[in-house]
Structures are given as C-alpha cells and as structure tokens.
Amino acid sequence: MAYSASFDKPAVPTGAKLLEFDLGQVQVIARMSINGGDAGVVFMPPYRFVVPVEILKEKGNLIEIEVTSLASNRLRWNDVTGVKWKYFHDINMVGMNYLPMDASKRSVVPCGLSGDIKWRIVK
C-alpha cells in the first residue's frame, strides 16, 4: 500500500536540526521518503523516522510511505484469484499437514497505516 501527502514546513525553533516522524500503528513494514529522499525502512515498533530539518522546503513537501504486507496475504490473494504461482519444480508446495497448500482459506492479516502521523523536534 502506498500513502502520500504534501505539507508545509512546520514552525521549527532556531537551531533545531532533527525532526522525528512517528507513523503510529503500522502493519507490517514501512519505507518512508520525503521530497524524493529515502528516510529508511522500519519493520517493528516504534515506527519512527528521524530526518534533518534542512531537507524540508518552506512549502509543498511530499511525504511518501510504502507499507508492505506479509507474504501470506499475497499467497492468499493468489489462490483466491487463481493466479498460478506454484511453479517450483524441485519442491512440493504443501501446508503444515503436508497436504497440497491452499492459502485461499487463510485469514487476511491487517496491513497498512492506522491513525495519524505525528512529528516532533528531537534535537
């Protein structure tokens, strides 16, 4: 899932050098960029990114967040929609009980952002 938003530079005290963006609840892995610059990847709480204040423009900053789900969601989707993905020749695709795997009956694991993104000055 991909999220994006534009924002103006917040009021930052003179001398402040770093801002922390807190994504709150994330399911499961998040990559963030600001104005096209990579801010990193997080895969466990806390889902926070620290960026230098200097990368922000006065107006029209673009924040982009890409959230990656678990592979089990994709495998379920493949089986529900009939996508042919079991094309391995050197292994058998079986479930935990060694019967042919059918991921279509698995529950969907929640994915995405939940809540607001918050920022604070850290230094």
d(CA 25, CA 20): 15
The pLDDT value recorded for residue 92 is: 63
The pLDDT value recorded for residue 89 is: 63
Q: What is the mean pLDDT of each run of 10 residues along the chain (123 residues)?
A: 93 92 94 97 95 95 94 90 78 71 87 90 87
The pLDDT value recorded for residue 43 is: 93
d(CA 117, CA 28): 16
The pLDDT value recorded for residue 90 is: 61
The pLDDT value recorded for residue 98 is: 74
d(CA 53, CA 32): 15
The pLDDT value recorded for residue 34 is: 97
Give the predicted TM-score (pTM) of the model: 0.78
The pLDDT value recorded for residue 123 is: 80
The pLDDT value recorded for residue 86 is: 77
Per the prediction, the chain carries an average pLDDT of 90
d(CA 70, CA 53): 33
